[in-house]
Structure 1
Amino acid sequence: MAEINYPIKLIIADDHEILANGIASMLGKNPEFKICGTATNGREVLDMLKQQPVDLVILDMNMPKLNGIETTIEIKDKFPETKVLILSMFDREGYIQNALDVGVDGYVLKNVNEKEIDSAIYRIMNGKTYFSQDVMEKMANKMRVYGETEGGVKLSDVERKILQFISEGDTSDEIAVKLETSTHSVMSYRKMLLQKFEAKNVSHLIKVAFERGYLG
């Protein structure tokens, strides 16, 4: 069990400023927590971390400039000691699987109460992970539907980017320019994405990816 240094320093990020301030006010009542600031997008979070590292960042999933997934990737790369807890209204498989793939330390839904958020923070700071009951049930159900060994579709960072570009209508040539790679490589990734989502064509791929939460 990791030793916790009190107070636990927190940043709260949500694109709804009122909600971010409300969460900060709620958690601020606990003397073992110190709210170091609130943010409305991932870029603000990273700027704040450069000025003052914190123990844990609570992130909304959908934010402008950098969303929860993109922000987590940056945090884990540049501030590896900082923990990340996703607090989201989205319980679809894709959102949860994407969060797991980039190494979040916890994922809870916005319908949880104050006590559960406190518990999530303490558990994460003790070196463990925390996923709310609704999230665990969602992933367990997906494992039963899609197979015992693979609950969700695991995507690399490149695959995730290419899927997004495809959904925006970009051609393989255009994607290759954006990623500074060859058209042949992009076409190979496209074929792999079709296989992973068991899609018949690109239109079907986009439909399935959206329905399962891999596209916002």
Structure 2
Amino acid sequence: MEKHKILIADDHSMIRDGIKTLLKQNKSYEVAGEAVNGREAVEKYKALRPDLIIMDISMPELNGMEAAKEILTEDPTARIVMLSMYDDEDYISLCMEYGVKGYVVKNETGSELDYAVKTVLKGQNYFSNQVQQVIFKKYSNNVTRKKQKEPEVNLTTREVEILKLISEGLTSLQMADKLFISPRTVETHRANLMKKTGAKNSIELVKKAQATGLL
């Protein structure tokens, strides 16, 4: 049976020993090498070409994120699982941006790391429960901020009718004839639409209406 070669990068020997003990429970894994800093991790990846790297973030010379970025820039197919004491959203976001395939926090159970290794070796991404909560919280905060920046626009039934006709390219006179109202009334509704949406012209009005779901 061909074994999966795994490189362990962590500056603490006790952590490396714990990871090796966990990996030895699966006969399909082989610890191909160890690195005690980010620079060594990059060099050993190039020399060993392991199937997966388990990488700490906080390491001397070159931290885990910098090492991961360097490795993934040279080889975008590299499979890296970050094992870190940090569940900071900025760290997680950067790792995801660089192309890291997995992220587990050190205070989680060994089974989380084991499952992360299995999942990433299958070609899938794995972010532990604690990491997923951080990602979801960030997403929720972004949605909330977006809603605060883009207040809900409440339109009357007539304004919605006018908006749809504007999107169809009708003139004020054509809209007036179609709705059996005066052109002046159409212009009043058009002005109200501009004010409520903050649009400066009809084209911007239609674009904003489409972006916010008014159309």
Which deviates the most, 123-132 or 41-50? 41-50
Rounded Cα–Cα distance in structure 2 between residues aligned with 1:131 and 1:139? 9
User: 2:80 maps to which residue?
Assistant: 84
Deviations 1:67-95 (A, max 9, x none): 11111111112233320000111111111
Rounded Cα–Cα distance in structure 2 between residues aligned with 1:149 and 1:53? 43
User: 1:185 maps to which residue?
Assistant: none
What is the SS of the residue equivalent to 1:57?
strand
- Gaps of at least 5 residues in structure 1 are 151-216
User: 1:131 maps to which residue?
Assistant: 127
Q: Is the 8 A contact 2:22 2:114 kept in 1?
A: no
User: 2:69 maps to which residue?
Assistant: 73
User: 2:100 maps to which residue?
Assistant: 104
Q: For the aligned residues, what is the CA RMSD?
A: 1.9
Rounded Cα–Cα distance in structure 2 between residues aligned with 1:6 and 1:117? 21
Rounded Cα–Cα distance in structure 2 between residues aligned with 1:49 and 1:146? 36
The reply to whether residue 61 of structure 1 matches residue 57 of structure 2 is: yes
The Cα of 1:148 is off from its aligned counterpart by: 6.1
Percent identity, aligned pairs only, is: 36
Q: Is the 8 A contact 2:52 2:80 kept in 1?
A: yes
- Normalized per residue, the structure richer in helix is 2
Rounded Cα–Cα distance in structure 1 between residues aligned with 2:144 and 2:36? 38
The reply to whether residue 31 of structure 1 matches residue 27 of structure 2 is: yes
What is the SS of the residue equivalent to 1:10?
strand
- Gaps of at least 5 residues in structure 2 are 147-215
Q: Could you list the structure 1 runs, at least 4 aligned residues long, displaced by more than 6 angstroms after superposition.
A: none
Deviations 1:87-111 (A, max 9, x none): 1111111111111111100111112
The Cα of 1:149 is off from its aligned counterpart by: 9.3
The counterpart of 2:16, out of the listed 1, 4, 20, is 20
CA pair 143-10 structure 1, distance change in 2 beyond 3 A: same
Q: Report which structure shows greater RCO (CA 8 Å, sep ≥6).
A: 1
Q: Is the 8 A contact 1:20 1:39 kept in 2?
A: no
User: 2:40 maps to which residue?
Assistant: 44
What letter matches 1:7 in structure 2? K
What letter matches 1:64 in structure 2? P
The counterpart of 2:114, out of the listed 107, 113, 118, is 118
Rounded Cα–Cα distance in structure 2 between residues aligned with 1:9 and 1:95? 26
Rounded Cα–Cα distance in structure 2 between residues aligned with 1:55 and 1:78? 15
CA pair 50-139 structure 1, distance change in 2 beyond 3 A: closer
Rounded Cα–Cα distance in structure 2 between residues aligned with 1:50 and 1:98? 22
CA pair 6-116 structure 1, distance change in 2 beyond 3 A: farther
Q: Which has the larger radius of gyration?
A: 2
What is the SS of the residue equivalent to 1:137?
helix
Rounded Cα–Cα distance in structure 2 between residues aligned with 1:109 and 1:13? 15
Rounded Cα–Cα distance in structure 1 between residues aligned with 2:99 and 2:46? 20
> With structure 2 as the length reference, what TM-score do the two structures score?
0.63
The Cα of 1:120 is off from its aligned counterpart by: 0.9
Q: Tell me the number of residue pairs that the alignment of Structure 1 and Structure 2 aligns.
A: 146
